[in-house]
Amino acid sequence: MNMDISSTCPVGREQWELFRTRRGIYVQYDYRDKRGHLYTTVAPTLAVCRQKRDRWLEAEQSAAECAAERARIAKIVAVP
């Protein structure tokens, strides 16, 4: 990670770092999926960050499956 806005997280990998605030210690977490989409979050622990990432991945997968199904149906409907 770096101090500017962009993430240096490579595809298919995760990066995290701890930081301290007045409220406590937190984890800033980045994960870039195999398609290059970046997920980033802040949570009290690395385990919580990974749970949130897993929910995001499930939602991304569901969205991709729905889009594929819509495309399949559109092809069927478009056939004369």
The rounded percent of the chain whose pLDDT value lies above 70 is: 90
The pLDDT score that the predictor gives to residue 5 is: 58
Please check whether residue 9 is in contact with residue 19, taking contact to mean a CB–CB distance below 8 angstroms.
Answer: no
Side chain identity, residue 71: A
For 34-60, the pLDDT digits (tens) are 888 899 999 999 999 999 999 999 998
Return the H-helix or E-strand segment holding 19: strand 13-21
Side chain identity, residue 77: V
The rounded percent of the chain whose pLDDT value lies above 90 is: 49
Rounded CA Rg of the chain = 18
The predicted model scores a pTM of 0.74
pLDDT greater than 90 at residue 80: no
pLDDT greater than 90 at residue 61: no
